[in-house]
Structure 1
Amino acid sequence: MNKREQQRQIREQKQQAAQRKEAMKKNMTRAALVIFLPLLAIAILWGMMSQGETYPPDQVAESDHVLGNPDADVTLMVYADFQCPACATEHRIMSQAWPRIANQAKLVYRHYPLTSTHRFAWTAALYAEAAGQQGKFWEMYDQLFLNQSYWSTLNDVRSEFDGYLEQIGVDVEQAHADMESDAVIQKVRNDQRGGTQAGVRGTPALFVNGRPTQVPQNPVDMISLVNNAAP
């Protein structure tokens, strides 16, 4: 065998080796897909099944927090973020108007934490929900909004929030455990998912009997809004 034939044979052997290597890679890829795709489908299906039910703004769910007359014809559904300054303003206006409208309306709060701009919004929502597990949601709701301008400036809010829980008579250790529960986490997530589905893009978002409505800028207008919405 001369030198040229030897070189040709070496080239052929290299080409065959490369072809075998490529074929092996394709077979491994196919095998990986056979294993991976069913697992991916299962993971997606599990994720979909693990998400709780969402509710539109015209439907009050058993999991909702309701203040006021449960039989009232006027439903004020608010999607809000505890660290949102405009939501704190809405809370102040609602609180001032509430003595005049409490018998005519029911107020429903749903979470819509804007975590991309408010770093403590998610934590605040969990604390409020944990307080709600012990029947103290609205008390924590007031504490968070009334003190928002202070705790929003802190580097860590947990000890401050723990203090609020103690003030309103909540078992802090139990609240911490509840904040890690699926029930509390899913409640916040599902509120936000439902709000997004309803067209909420910012906070506060107010729905009156299921209809999106501009948030009144003073207590007098809030009272008028409720009076006009009543049948």
Structure 2
Amino acid sequence: MSSKKEEQRRIREEKQQQAKQRAKVLGIAWKLALVVLVPLVVVVLLQGLRSNAQLVSPAVVSADDHVRGSADAPVTLVIYGDFQCPACREGADVFARAWARIGSSVQMVFRHYPLDSHRHSHLAARYAEAAGRQETFWPMHDMLYANQALWSASSDPRAVFDGFAIDLGLDLERLQEDLSLQEVQDKIRADQRGGTRAGVRATPSLFINGRPAVTPRTAVELEALVTRELRRIQGEA
């Protein structure tokens, strides 16, 4: 009888020991998880806060935006574009042809929306943004679109982009340094996230005084769009 009790006691002790061992292992696992996950969560949250702070609505023009025209213009056109997008290039041509007639009434804002389906679009956006740090965003913007066919089919358009920078008189060494800046990548990412939040799903996407609009396909359509908006504003005054 005593041997049976001893056997039962031994079994209980073994189970208790196994339970303690499992608890110890779980405790170590939790500590390791906290060591790994907590810093990761903090980094993700900080990045999210930083990016969210940069998101701008199409109804607002920020100090970081690239603006062509007067800040006092009654009509603000915000364009989300991709430098490798053929429709965006056509849209840029439309704006260029109409600008002489609408420029006094319009400020045009370009925001990046590079599509993953265009393999060089992110690199082109970085070149434009880096050029902007030398006050040459719009000339690079125009050159990228005007020569889209030249670099779009290239396996590596960096040499072509560098040539554009040289033609524009940029400091090439500084440009190369700026291309890898986190601020440059953050600006592009923030533009795109802000566009997505505003409903952008394709390029080009146009907003007129904060409201989505169909992107004009001709200079005449663009001029008519601006004229209607001016009349709407005057009617509300």
Say whether the fold is shared (TM-score over 0.5): yes
Deviates more, 1:175-184 or 1:159-168: 175-184
Q: How does 1:23-62 map to 2 (within 5 A)?
A: 23-51=23-51, 52-62=53-63
Runs of 5+ unmatched residues, structure 2: 1-7
| Distance in structure 1 (CA, Å) of the matches to 2:37 and 2:179 | 34
CA contact (8 A) 2:54 2:187 kept: no
Other-structure match for 1:212: 212
Range that drifts further, 29-38 or 151-160 = 29-38
2:120 paired with 1:106: no
What is the distance in 2 between the residues matched to 1:34 and 1:72?
54
2:229 alignment counterpart: 229
Closer/same/farther in 2, CA of residues 34 and 53 from structure 1, 3 Å limit:
same
Q: Counterparts of 1:67 and 1:103 in 2: how far apart (Å)?
A: 11
Letter in 2 for 1:78: I
Contact 2:82 2:204 in 1 (8 A): yes
1:181 to partner: Cα distance: 1.6
Cα distance in 2 between the residues matched to 1:55 and 1:90 = 22
CA RMSD after TM alignment: 2.4
- CA drift of 1:88 comes to 0.7
In the superposition, the TM-score normalised over structure 2's length comes to: 0.86
Q: What number of residue pairs does the alignment pair up?
A: 227
Using the TM superposition, give the Cα deviation of residue 13 of structure 1 relative to its aligned residue in structure 2, in angstroms. 9.6
Structure 2: how far apart are the matches of 1:197 and 1:162?
33
Map 1:166-177 onto structure 2 (within 5 A): 166-177=166-177
Residue aligning to 1:4: none
State the one-letter code of the partner of 2:207: F
Q: Deviations over 1:172-215 (max 9, x none)?
A: 11111111222222111111111111111111000001100001
Structure 1 SS opposite 2:68? strand
Compute the displacement of 1:19 (Å): 4.9
Q: Is 1:119 paired with 2:123?
A: no
Match of 1:82 in 2: 83
Gaps of 5+ in 1: 1-7
- Alpha-carbon distance between aligned partners in 2 of 1:119 and 1:39, rounded to the nearest angstrom: 33
TM norm structure 1: 0.88
Aligned to 2:4: none
- Superposed CA offset, 1:6-26 (max 9, x none): xx9x99998777656533321
Tell me the amino acid that sits aligned with residue 93 of structure 1. V
Larger mean Cα displacement after TM superposition, 33-42 or 195-204:
33-42
Identical-residue share of aligned pairs (%): 40
Q: What does 1:194-213 align with in structure 2 at a 5 Å threshold?
A: 194-213=194-213
